[in-house]
Amino acid sequence: MSYCLNPYCRAPQNPDAAKFCSTCGFKLLLGDRYRALQSLARGGFGRTFLAVDEYKPSRPSCVIKQFFPQSHNVYDPEHARALFQREAVQLEALGEHPQIPQLLAHFEQAEYQYLVQEFIGGANLFQETAKSGSFSEEQVWCLLNDLLPVITFIHSHQVIHRDIKPQNILRRAATQQFVLVDFGAAKTISGADSSQTGTSIGSPVFVAPEQAIGKAIFASDLYSLGVTCIYLLTQIPPADLFDTQEGGWQWQQHLKRPVSPALGSILDKLLQGAVKRRYQSAADVLRDLNAPSVMGALKLSTDGYRSATQTAQRVNKTGLARSPKQPFPPALALETMAPVNQSLQGTAPPRWVCTQTLTDHSSWVRSVVIHPNGQSLASGSGDRTIKIWDLATGTLRHTLAANAGWIRAIAVSPNGQTIASCNNDRRLMLWRWETGKQLQTLDGHTDWARAVCFSPNGQRLASGSQDKTVRLWHLPTGNVERVLAGHTHWVIAVAFSPNGRTIASGSRDKTIRVWDSKTGALIHVLEGHQDAVNAIAISPDGRTLASASDDGSLRLWDLPTGKLKQVLSGHEGAVNALAIDPNGVTLVSGSQDTTIKLWSLETGRLLNSLAGHTNWVWSVAVGALSHAKDSDRQTVIVSGSWDATVKVWRQQD
């Protein structure tokens, strides 16, 4: 069935393939691409529809949001367009986070504004509790640990959501991960308006006092999250939990199952009406939530956390399960380090410590590289910059500004003179490492570029893109030498073999493809991962290819034959990053579980687990720190994380 988008249509139902509404003549295909199937919701400022994208062969589901204010007395068309454009800009930036719906398109048609977003299959938490009953303490703890990093991400972009409530938190059916939706009420804070009174907006029973009078701040979202939690625990409307005589929340006496004093104290602090007595940041809540006292009260040791996860999985049919792929909270990641180091059958592995934490980035760090001379490192971030650091001291040398958008990936040329980067657009940029001067822009992809690497001789560059291709560039001329096509989803990882004769690419289509870099001929298709391939690395001898996936595994392949050698497991979440040390002995991986793991490339044995990041590890690099004497070179690991830090790790005697 095709649904007419005309708000005044008397009979909006139409046949599946109709192009125009048989009742009012309204065009049914939005942007000649998106077809609405049914109405999902209507609010004061618009309507949402379940739709399909007819441009793609699989006709994937999506959501259409139509801006349609119900009060015509206050409707200013120009102001409405400005508000809708602002929401689109917000969603484009925030949709990069996997727990926020991705913006697919926005435009005007027939004088109405539309947003098209990723469809999140799954129930919201209001629906879940209506079907399956109130949350337990462990479920609330899991919710907070999963959602607070999302709120941190939103606030780092200077956005206040302003409408956090059970209806706007969905559990993605495919992964059981919580997703925060509906940014229609969100507000971007700038220096000019941060102290000004705005409009009172949001769902009244969930909003903080200051938000109710138009003065929302970041802590207002934390208040709404607290109200959401006590609703999930009690299933009682928040208005019935607030004591107007005392001016505070009276929720614990309504619990069907008591919670620990530790968690109760955290929720009470989230619910403070006075801003100065409330948590000021999501990071503060996470720190208290994972403090030893809370963990002890919840009895969630490493085994206890797994037990809680398994318990949630047993009620999966009710929609309340948590995926085992979800990361361990930071406190548990720290606790798991010692047992791993003690499990090596009496062999004492090298001891690694974090010697520097670099904090000048203001957003997630997606990519890190070490200069070939071992004296500096570079990091690319969601704050739209590349920073060059002194590797020995951690001093910031200079900053390269990539105005096009977030830095997706960076690579350094073999001679160390050039950095290549791909941003949140189609182009690749080349920079001078020592000066930060922009040298060249390469434009040829038809969708965002997501991966980049240099050939061993430095004359060619390979890039992977959301347009499902790998492009090989001849750097002296800036021309595209060859386009490698065959993947059926985004290409998000590329790597040259040490002799430059082959190139490998990893994709969201769950495969790795190995190509002849000279002819473009496909040599192997490596299959076996159950989810997107996020990272690949090739050993210095060219014999082994390592791959990492959203399925939480690492795989080692014999590159000449394409045969699988070994599957490595040990991470408790998606593996996002890989690197092999220059000697070809150790494989390093970084994961959604916040840890970095070291593996023997020869045996696949887990050697070490490094904990310290407080959010996903997005990137790792291995190199040799160069001191005054060339003979005195120490192996170092550099990692970048969603926590906006770069960490430098060294071996200790």
Residues catalogued as catalytic: 163
CA torsion, ordered 608, 612, 618, 623, to nearest 10 deg:
-60
Q: Please give the C-alpha separations between residue 43 and each of 4, 65, 151, 202, 306, in angstroms, as whole numbers.
A: 18, 11, 24, 12, 40
Q: What is the 3-state secondary structure (H, E, C) of 616-632?
A: CEEEEEEEEEECCCCCC
Q: Report the distance separating Cα 474 and Cα 481, nearest Å.
A: 6
Enter the tokens of residue 177.
């991960």
| Contact status, residue 521 vs residue 536, Cβ threshold 8 Å | no
For 391-501, strand residue ranges (E) read 396-401, 409-412, 418-422, 428-432, 438-442, 449-454, 460-465, 469-474, 479-485, 491-496
Q: Please give the C-alpha separations between residue 580 and each of 87, 125, 225, 284, 636, in angstroms, as whole numbers.
A: 42, 42, 42, 35, 12
Q: Report the distance separating Cα 625 and Cα 628, nearest Å.
A: 10
Please report which helix (H) or strand (E) contains residue 92, including its range: helix 77-94
| Contact status, residue 538 vs residue 496, Cβ threshold 8 Å | yes
Q: How many Cα neighbours within 13 Å face the side chain of 298?
A: 28
Q: How many Cα neighbours within 13 Å face the side chain of 112?
A: 21
At residue 429, the 3 state secondary structure works out as: strand
For residue 470, the cross-strand partners are 464, 484
Q: Which of 13, 46, 51, 47 is nearest to 29 (CA)?
A: 51
